[in-house]
Structure 1
Amino acid sequence: MEALLKAASTLAPTSSKRKKCQPYTITFISSLQDHLALDNPLDAAVYACLTTTFYAAARVGEFMVRQLDTFNPAIHVKPSDKRQEQDRNGLMTTTFHLPQMKSSLDGKDVYWARQDGPTDPEAAWIQHQEVNQPLADGHLFAYRFKDGYRPLTKAKFLERLRTAAREASLEPLQGHGICIGPTLEYLLRGLPFDVVKAKGRWASDVFMLYLQKHAQIMAPYMQSTPLLHEAFVRYTMPPVR
């Protein structure tokens, strides 16, 4: 059966294959920011959500609702689910508890740290908080609308990003690119493969695709640095049985 599926995939015409999903990058996100009005309630929420999902290596749907009337505080992330943690070296991280997920009914924690430059998720969150002042038990990225609040839906989020991309003369990217973008970014920073895999919560070998398709990720391990080479061998070689 595996041989048949592989043959079918190999022989399938290019026209029948789905377009490859391109990853979001820090440069791309910075360009989008130039075309978002961060003093606008919707744009402030969208940009805070974008930077949070990117640096937390989270799935887009984990931080948003499907429809305006489907927000449920028991299963959707709220400002009260956000906390700050400090390690023994004084390094700070911001953690969000996702109350419920497809793969875990008990939820999961995702996290990011402050970054340099215009894509800093902490600065984006502070801006969102100042503009929208979301309620503690409301939706995390709720934005002011008329005399109340609206939870940020996935459709509205992606629509606003597509518009900003076109205004920046860029090709709009798919939502899944926000999830794979940080995987590439953290690998390029030299984080160990298993650490990035754990942060992105990759459960299958599809994670290995990012090692094969980007020469920049492999470059440090191909040099004459023994420690990096040993780390790469340990990760890629199958265990001894």
Structure 2
Amino acid sequence: MAGAERLQPDKSRQKKRQPFTVSYISKILADLNPADSLDAACRACLTTSFYCVARLGELTVPTIKDFRAEDHVTTANVKTGQDRNGFTTQIIHVPHTKSNPLEGEDIYFSKQLDSTDPDSVLNHHLQFNMPSPHEHLFTYSSKSSKGSVRKPLTKSTFVAASTKRQSDKALNFFKVMEFGSGQHSNIYCEVFPLMQSGFWGDGKVTHF
């Protein structure tokens, strides 16, 4: 495998991605206004994806017209539980995942003691945007000629909103983001300061 990799042409190699650290996440959050409907939804999606080690495409929708409550995450998929150490944990059931398209998987996060805390950020979004059980979990309100329109959060909208001011702060543009969901994602949250010392390739953890 190593020999084949050395023979791989440069043009077919995937560019290295900017690693996501807690510090990097906090800089993105600082650019997103919690009093703005879209930004509040993006903040919640960002921190949830990060701490759940979830694929962004499984927490967003491809296009607005693609949303179906039975196929995508909604508030009905969110519940509170306990981890094996007795700590309170938020559990989100993703109806369809890449590794389990039929039954889906549960992803987890626990409260963090800094500005990137996914628990407080998600709760703010839920109180501010108030998505119903029949709407996408990260639904937001958008102004149009017909008034306020409710929209599910698409991946492209998330990327555009989350990177719109990165160049102003001289941060490297990154390819957002495939953390990789699965039943062990809660272990990463508890044991490792995510991505402080990790290497990521093809959207998954390759080394700690």
Q: Which letter does structure 2 place at the counterpart of 1:106?
A: E
Partner of 2:174: 173
CA displacement at 1:23 relative to structure 2: 2.3
Instruction: Answer with 43-52 or 9-18: which moved more.
Output: 9-18
RMSD: 2.6
- Inter-CA distance 16–186: structure 2 relative to 1 (3 Å threshold): farther
Cα deviation per residue 1:167-195 (whole Å; 9 max; x = unaligned)?
A: 33211211236559x898766449xxxxx
- Mapped partners of 1:185, 1:108: distance in 2: 17
- Mapped partners of 1:184, 1:80: distance in 2: 25
Give the alignment of 1:10-159 within 5 angstroms: 10-86=6-82, 90-104=86-100, 105-146=102-143, 147-159=148-160
Task: Give the structure, 1 or 2, with the largest relative contact order (CA under 8 Å, sep 6 or more).
Answer: 2
Instruction: Answer with 43-52 or 131-140: which moved more.
Output: 131-140
Structure 2, unmatched stretches of 5+, are 195-203
Structure 1, unmatched stretches of 5+, are 191-205, 212-241
- Mapped partners of 1:179, 1:173: distance in 2: 16
- Mapped partners of 1:87, 1:31: distance in 2: 29
Is the Cα–Cα contact under 8 Å of residues 36 and 164 in structure 1 kept in the other structure?
no
- Mapped partners of 2:23, 2:188: distance in 1: 13
Structure 1 residue matching 2:23: 3-state secondary structure? helix
- Inter-CA distance 63–88: structure 2 relative to 1 (3 Å threshold): closer
Q: Which letter does structure 1 place at the counterpart of 2:59?
A: F
Instruction: Answer with 60-69 or 8-17: which moved more.
Output: 8-17
Q: Which letter does structure 1 place at the counterpart of 2:171?
A: L
- Mapped partners of 1:22, 1:185: distance in 2: 20
Is the Cα–Cα contact under 8 Å of residues 24 and 178 in structure 1 kept in the other structure?
no
CA displacement at 1:25 relative to structure 2: 0.8
Is the Cα–Cα contact under 8 Å of residues 75 and 100 in structure 1 kept in the other structure?
yes
Report the number of matched residues: 190
- Mapped partners of 2:188, 2:77: distance in 1: 27
CA displacement at 1:102 relative to structure 2: 2.8
Partner of 2:200: none
Cα deviation per residue 1:150-181 (whole Å; 9 max; x = unaligned)?
A: 0000001011122132233211211236559x
Give the alignment's TM-score, normalised by structure 1: 0.71
- Inter-CA distance 40–93: structure 2 relative to 1 (3 Å threshold): same
- Mapped partners of 2:7, 2:188: distance in 1: 29
Higher strand share: 2
Give the alignment's TM-score, normalised by structure 2: 0.81
Partner of 1:160: 161
